[in-house]
Amino acid sequence: MSTVLRSVKTTCEMIKIEHTLFALPFAFLGAFLAARGLPRLEQALWITVAMVGARSAAMAFNRLADERYDAANPRTAQRALPAGLVSRSFVIGFTIVAAALLLLAAAMLNPLALWLSPVALASVLLYSYAKRFTSLSHVALGWCLAMAPAGAWVAVRGALDGVAVLLALCVLLWTAGFDILYACQDYDFDRKHPELHSLPKRLGIARAMLVARGLHAAMFVGLVALVAVTGLGWLALVGVAATGALLMHQHRLVSPTDLSRLDAAFFTTNAFVSVILFLTLGIDAAFLSR
Beta strands in 85-234 (DSSP E): none
Total-model pTM: 0.90
Q: Give pLDDT, residue 120.
A: 94
**pLDDT in 10s for each residue of the chain, 290 residues:** 567 677 767 766 666 665 666 678 999 999 999 998 899 999 999 999 999 999 899 988 988 888 888 888 887 778 778 877 788 888 899 999 999 999 999 999 999 999 999 999 999 999 989 988 899 999 999 999 999 999 999 999 999 999 999 999 999 999 999 999 989 988 888 898 888 899 999 999 999 999 999 999 999 999 999 999 999 999 999 999 999 999 998 888 888 888 888 776 667 788 789 899 999 999 999 887 65
Distances (CA, A) of 137 to 61, 62, 199, 200, 273: 16, 13, 8, 11, 22
Q: How many CB atoms lie within 10 A of CB 213?
A: 17
| b/e code 35-49 from CB counts within 10 Å (16+ = b) | beeebeeebbebbbb
The closest alpha carbon to 281, from 229, 216, 214, 215, belongs to 229
Q: Which domains, ranges and CATH numbers included, belong to the chain? A: 2-288 (1.10.357.140)
* Distance, first Cα to last Cα, the chain: 50
Predicted pLDDT of residue 81: 80
pLDDT (0 to 100) of residue 106: 96
